[in-house]
Chain A
């Protein structure tokens, strides 16, 4: 018979860590030791609708954080708070405290244009500008004054396309329209566009939902490489994708952040029954 080192069976504490189904307080590890971004008690309202409820969550340096949950759970609303993409939505109100490197991003003095460069976003549907590949990438650095001349811009364009894994495929046709690329290439072009303005965090809202498996694999590989230099927050409906690309996973349900934890733990032994229901397909 196998024994542990002390020769005794450990005292049984099975299920002691687990939450009651009705307890909607966040369980797990939403906070980290050295965060790049901090969110505390974040609530989002669309008029009377309370879409995100008291969410506290950190984004660590060099991590991929996956946000999962059923449609309408608040994950996309939450990610859009991180670079104030909800600001133009009429009736949308965000309360709480969100900080990037310690600075309040909702401070009245904050200019959202540079904020959205620091916290870039890649959307579900690739949305290249109706311009050339070169201009798609060069546009951001130009308006943010990141290059002194065309020579520097060329360098930024090449570097961004290389980091997005697209350079070899487009280097001989930079003057062609970005919209002429395949869906997967367009999405990598959008990632290159976000990288060109030197972000700290990249937000991705279902970036692969419109892509085939090969294009998805390219993006997932890219996400893994980008983690060396950036923090990435990805909203995905694919639990396999969340489990493949992220180091931490956060589960949202009806506006509440239910559970956050190391991805391998969340997908093998979640603490909250609601997380278990969702990831095993017992939702509803």
Chain B
């Protein structure tokens, strides 16, 4: 259960407790499916398998459906329970986290749509950089699930920092891509697709840092980027 270490007691109202558990379960399932989408994106990049890419694209619908479920549960909680303190921070943050997960899953599906840009001429180095960016993202999301369940602000900050690794790899990726595209105008169409795939990976990292900031806020009530004594 969310933050058992901090929230040692259950709600006096059992139905309220059940609704919060339901919301937690929905957002965790969303994170699990998003993770599956990212892992599938890695396999698609490595295999260039069109069938797998189609599954990656269609898998996005499940994440979208879960986001709508989180939306509905959140609105119901706000309207009927008027949550306070940690419950309030959790409820509004889950709404934001669900939106971030939906965007991450969108980017993963977007990579499936670009699989035709990968072919035998695609430099191995570009594939490696894409996979490494996604591997970092998968690790970040995995640890964010733990940080959320444990309400661990230290882990949230540690994950937040790991986006720098994705940013560095993205810089390398752009350099390699420019080299690849500069050799022949024929490579511009596939290069443009690769550029979008790299950009998607970099944006996934940004959305993961947003999730880390929301978990930090749930756990501490403070903004990760703004110290508590600032207005």
Contacts and interface: CB of A to CB of B under 8 A. Distances in A.
A258 to B, nearest CB: 14
Given A2-B209, A9-B160, A281 B11 contact: yes
B229 to A, nearest CB: 11
B5 to A, nearest CB: 11
Contacts of A267: 84-85, 88
A15 B11 contact: no
Interface stretch (B33-41, B52-60, B101-109, B213-221): B213-221
B86 interface: yes
Contacts of A239: 84
A243 B82 CA distance: 11
A17 to B, nearest CB: 8
Contacts, number: 77
A2 B205 contact: no
A243 B85 CA distance: 12
A282 B89 contact: no
A2 B219 contact: no
Given A239-B84, A267-B88, A282-B10, A4 B219 contact: no
Contacts of A280: 7, 11, 83-87
Contacts of A279: 84-85
Contact of B157 (A12, A243, A275, A277): A12
Contacts of B164: 1
Interface string A4-17: 10000110101101
B222 interface: yes
B209 A282 contact: no
B107 to A, nearest CB: 15
B174 interface: no
A284 interface: yes
Nearest to A265: B221
A108 interface: no
B-side interface size class: 35 or more
Residue among A15, A17, A243 with the highest chain B CB neighbour number at 10 A: A15
A4 B226 contact: yes
B167 interface: yes
A270 B157 contact: no
A14 B12 contact: no
**For chain A, what secondary structure do more than half of its interface residues adopt (helix, strand, loop), or is it mixed?**
loop
A10 B11 contact: no
A181 to B, nearest CB: 31
Contact of A284 (B12, B88, B163, B227): B12
A15 B219 CA distance: 8
Interface string B199-229: 0000001100110010010011110111110
Given A12-B157, A14-B154, A268 B85 contact: yes
A8 to B, nearest CB: 10
B9 interface: yes
A276 B222 contact: no
Given A10-B227, A282-B7, 15 more contacts: A1-B163, A1-B209, A9-B161, A14-B153, A14-B154, A14-B222, A15-B219, A269-B85, A279-B84, A279-B85, A280-B11, A280-B84, A280-B85, A280-B87, A281-B12
30 contacts: A1-B164, A1-B167, A2-B206, A2-B210, A3-B225, A4-B225, A4-B226, A9-B157, A9-B160, A10-B225, A12-B153, A12-B154, A12-B157, A14-B219, A243-B84, A267-B88, A268-B84, A268-B85, A268-B88, A268-B89, A269-B220, A269-B222, A270-B85, A275-B85, A280-B84, A280-B87, A281-B16, A282-B7, A282-B11, A283-B12
Interface of A: 1-4, 9-10, 12, 14-15, 17, 239-240, 243, 267-270, 275-277, 279-284
Interface of B: 7, 9-13, 16, 82-89, 153-154, 157, 160-161, 163-164, 167, 205-206, 209-210, 213, 216, 219-222, 224-228
Question: Which 10 interchain pairs have the tightest Cβ spacing?
Answer: A269-B221, A14-B153, A282-B9, A14-B220, A279-B84, A1-B163, A4-B225, A280-B87, A281-B11, A276-B85
